[in-house]
Amino acid sequence: MDVDPRYEEIFSGLEEDIRLLTPKFSEYSRGYLINHKERYLNDLNFIEKHYEKGPILEVGGHPFHFTYFLNKLSYDIVSVDIDPTRAEVIVDKNGLNVVRCDIETEPLPFDDGTFQMVLFNEIFEHLRINPIATLEEVNRVISPGGIMMLTTPNLYALHTVVNYLIGRGIRKPYNQFNSLRTLGHMGHVREYSVKEIKVFLENTGYEVLYVKYRAYKYRIKGIWGKIANLAYIFMPPCLYPYFIIISKKRA
């Protein structure tokens, strides 16, 4: 995909800063950027469409790529994360506004209605205690009529359905729980369908505006990667690997 040269310059700066991290987190951060760069650019389109003014809250910011990106674009972005020290070099070097908070066990350290927009991107699938309480607490800090953007893997993505049918399961549970040791946060507890996420949102103070399914470039090299990318051209969107739900705080 063609990328605005201004954005490429920002990503290049981020890649340089990633090299300053400890080897473990540098490797993780570099791989995450490769796999999610296209998603970041896609997410930016939705922000530009819905953002009017005021501060934005990013929930679960690590590895802080999108925080960095939005900061460089002069958005008023605040990020909360369970352990900001994992990328302390990037946070401090670039003056990112990052606040430590465990969103599953602690209240957000902000007043009611502080944020005009909340980004809840690739977080919901990691929640392991009480997603209902977390969504309600996030709703508290959204301003009246404010927007929340939620992105998450699609339970009914084609590759997930195929893995389930051939007995591989959806994710490797040991690896997901072991992320608590290796990365400092939980992996995917489970993945959800659009209908399931809608039920959560509609019962925690949100009005769903619309849903978009998304397929990003498949990263596997060779014939299987080519087959996967070709398949996405012809399959119905409901089988795409990700979806985005735009909702607003219900009056």
Whether the Cβ atoms of residue 29 and residue 21 lie closer than 8 Å to each other: yes
pLDDT of 184 reads 94
Collapsed DSSP state (helix, strand, coil) of residue 142:
strand
Cα gap 222→225, rounded to integer Å: 6
Backbone angles phi, psi at 97, to 5 degrees: -90, 95
Q: Kindly report the average pLDDT of the chain as a whole number.
A: 93
Structure confidence at residue 221 as a pLDDT band (50, 70, 90): low
Cα gap 34→27, rounded to integer Å: 11
pLDDT above 60 for 8: yes
Q: Could you report the per-residue pLDDT of 88-141, keeping only the tens digit for each?
A: 999 999 999 999 999 999 999 999 999 999 999 999 999 999 999 999 999 999
* Domain ranges for the chain: 5-249
Tokens of 63: 């590895």
pLDDT of 158 reads 86
Backbone angles phi, psi at 51, to 5 degrees: -75, 135
Q: Could you report the per-residue pLDDT of 34-74, keeping only the tens digit for each?
A: 989 999 999 999 999 999 999 999 999 999 999 999 999 99
What CATH class is the domain 5-249? alpha beta
Whether the Cβ atoms of residue 246 and residue 147 lie closer than 8 Å to each other: yes
Q: What is the mean pLDDT of residues 80-88?
A: 97
Q: Could you report the per-residue pLDDT of 169-215, keeping only the tens digit for each?
A: 888 899 999 999 999 999 999 999 999 999 999 999 999 999 999 98
Structure confidence at residue 218 as a pLDDT band (50, 70, 90): low
